[in-house]
């Protein structure tokens, strides 16, 4: 589905080779491994971390704790990992906000390119524009017309300023002229919950978070953000199909370790993580949630991450976004 995005790195994707040292032989044993999620419980980062943790724990023979540290668009949790000991025991499950925040925030307490070590690009998925049933629109065209007619702006939620949800909406605004008003939350879960409850009107949600509410009728799905329709939402057109030809946005998830972590530790952990992503229960879940699992090498993630910094940095600058 997303082969065009990653084709330039195809030769480095997936397992790093059977000669790689095991993670346990390199990292400090005995202590629990912490996977830090920089957003509130219930969002896609949190869901993925808790999906991966049991299988990864079994493979490593180590207990794994998922720890939520929300706030500042993911910067609080990310900063915590960046300042942690470089022993491979503290990991960050990151998403696009990590790349966006480099440009979005004028004052960052850490540099993600220097203070975090890439481990693996876990997966990638489209977002989906969903609205509360009270919104009088069933198509993207009707939503644009409705939003342009609003004087105060149609409210949209996000997992925090600078995240994939936020930037997906800002790109949509730039290309369509829709009048949208940003309402940031500390995670995708709380944002979707408020959409279902009618406190906000719309959101560019991760499919992982929104799908149960789409199926139950709690929200209406208007369009997906990928180039092609997604199998999990086969009846929902792409935003490109709906008349916005240059619109394309994805959410991704990646694992990083604290800065200074040994490349051998990162490589050993990537090898185990790639195997976990192929486990039947994990892989089957991904197929139902519009996620393409990748399990890339650290080197592939580093190149991908730098490309994302450039792409979304341009959107941030063009939209005039800045957080002090």
For residue range 60-119, list pLDDT tens digits in order: 999 999 999 998 889 999 999 999 999 999 999 999 999 999 999 988 899 999 999 999
Establish if 181 belongs to a structural domain: yes
Establish if 266 belongs to a structural domain: yes
What DSSP line would sit under 299-312, residue for residue? HHHHHHHHHHHHHH
Residue 157: which CATH number?
3.40.190.10
118 and 258 share one domain:
yes
Give the range of the structural domain holding residue 106, as residue numbers without chain letter. 3-125+251-319
Domain boundary among 207, 233, 259: 233
Domain boundary among 233, 259, 278: 233
The number of beta carbons lying within 10 Å of the beta carbon of residue 68 is 18
- Burial of 87 from C-beta contacts in 10 A (0-12 / 13-18 / 19+): middle
Indicate left, alpha or beta for 237 from its phi (over 0: left) and psi (-120 to 50: alpha).
beta
- Phi, psi torsion values for 125, nearest 5 degrees: -160, 155
Q: Check whether 12 has a pLDDT greater than 50.
A: no
Judge contact between 202 and 194, C-beta under 8 A: no
Residue 117: which CATH number?
3.40.190.150
Among residues of the chain, what percentage have pLDDT more than 90? Answer: 72
Integer Cα distance of 126 and 161 in angstroms: 19
Judge contact between 120 and 254, C-beta under 8 A: yes
- The answer, as to whether pTM is greater than 0.75, is yes
- Phi, psi torsion values for 64, nearest 5 degrees: -125, 130
130 and 115 share one domain:
no
Q: Check whether 13 has a pLDDT greater than 50.
A: no
252-292: pLDDT as tens digits: 999 999 999 999 999 999 999 999 999 999 999 888 888 89
Closest CA to 28 of 265, 255, 263, 260: 265
108 and 21 share one domain:
yes
CB under 8 Å to 182, separation ≥6 — which residues? 156, 158, 161, 166, 169
CB under 8 Å to 218, separation ≥6 — which residues? 133, 196
Establish if 285 belongs to a structural domain: yes
E-assigned strand segments in the chain: 33-37, 64-68, 90-94, 116-131, 154-158, 180-184, 202-206, 220-224, 250-258, 292-293
Q: What domain count does the chain have?
A: 2
79 and 227 share one domain:
no
Judge contact between 288 and 4, C-beta under 8 A: no
Establish if 238 belongs to a structural domain: no
DSSP conformational letter for 323: B
147-176: pLDDT as tens digits: 999 999 999 999 888 888 898 999 999 999
219 and 175 share one domain:
yes
229 and 148 share one domain:
yes
């Amino acid at each position: 589905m997303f082969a065009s995005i990653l084709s330039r790195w195809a030769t480095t994707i997936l397992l790093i080779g059977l000669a790689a040292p095991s993670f346990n032989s390199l990292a400090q044993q005995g202590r629990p491994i912490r996977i830090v999620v920089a957003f509130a419980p219930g969002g896609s980062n949190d869901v993925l971390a808790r999906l991966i943790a049991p299988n990864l724990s079994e493979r490593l023979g180590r207990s794994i704790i998922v720890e939520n540290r929300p706030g500042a668009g993911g910067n609080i949790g990310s900063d915590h990992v960046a300042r942690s000991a470089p022993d491979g025991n503290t990991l960050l499950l990151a998403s696009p906000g990590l790349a966006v925040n480099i440009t979005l925030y004028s004052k960052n307490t850490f540099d993600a390119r220097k203070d975090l070590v890439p481990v693996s690009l876990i997966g990638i998925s489209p977002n989906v524009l969903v609205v509360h049933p009270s919104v009088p629109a069933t198509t993207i065209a009707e939503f644009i017309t409705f939003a342009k007619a609003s004087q105060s702006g149609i409210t949209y939620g996000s997992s925090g300023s600078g995240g994939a949800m936020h930037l997906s909406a800002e790109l949509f605004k730039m290309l369509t002229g829709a009048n949208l008003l940003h309402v940031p939350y500390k995670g995708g879960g709380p944002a979707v919950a408020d959409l279902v409850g009618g406190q906000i009107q719309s959101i560019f949600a991760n499919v992982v978070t929104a799908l149960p509410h789409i199926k139950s009728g709690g929200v209406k799905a208007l369009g997906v953000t990928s180039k092609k329709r997604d199998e999990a939402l086969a009846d929902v057109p792409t935003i490109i199909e709906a008349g916005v030809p240059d619109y394309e946005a994805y959410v991704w998830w990646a694992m990083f370790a604290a800065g200074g972590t040994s490349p051998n530790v990162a490589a050993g952990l990537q090898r185990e993580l790639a195997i976990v992503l192929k486990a039947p229960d994990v892989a089957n879940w991904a197929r139902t949630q519009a996620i393409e699992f990748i399990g890339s090498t650290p080197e592939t993630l580093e190149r991908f991450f730098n490309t994302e910094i450039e792409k979304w940095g341009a959107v941030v600058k063009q939209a005039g976004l800045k957080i002090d």
